[in-house]
């Protein structure tokens, strides 16, 4: 069964450029190396300049685990999280087919 997550991220104003660079790199590497990741979208709020959303959908739970365990994920996520002004709001969903 396909599954997805939606992550809402509020970034420290002084970390915006660094955060965007890291997140774009994570998105690019995910698309390049993870065929089981069907969607990995990085979105910026139109009105709140330091608020972002990541929407990702995976073929199945195994594809999500592959994403979590990738070397580039381990390298990029800690500095992404360090750029946040508040705890990430991460929610998981199952696709209704």
Most confident of 67-71, 82-86, 93-97: 82-86
pLDDT at site 97: 85
Q: Which domain holds residue 80?
A: 3-94
pLDDT per residue as tens digits for the range 3-52: 999 999 999 999 999 999 999 999 999 999 999 999 999 999 999 999 99
User: Edge-to-edge strands of the sheet including 37-44?
Assistant: 37-44, 51-58, 3-10, 89-94
* pTM of the predicted protein model: 0.92
Total structural domains within the chain: 1
Cβ atoms of residues 84 and 11 within 8 Å = yes
CA–CA dist 52, 36 (Å, integer): 23
- What CATH number is attached to the domain comprising 45? 3.30.70.100
């Amino acid at each position: 069964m396909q599954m997805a997550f939606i992550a809402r991220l509020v970034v420290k104003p002084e970390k915006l450029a660094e955060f965007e660079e890291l997140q774009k790199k994570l998105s690019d590497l995910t698309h390049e190396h993870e065929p089981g990741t069907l969607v990995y979208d990085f979105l910026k709020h139109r009105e709140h300049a330091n608020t972002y959303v990541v929407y990702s959908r995976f073929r199945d739970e195994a594809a999500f685990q592959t994403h979590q365990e990738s070397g580039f994920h381990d390298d990029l996520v800690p500095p992404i999280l360090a750029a946040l002004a508040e705890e990430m709001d991460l929610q998981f969903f199952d696709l209704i087919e």
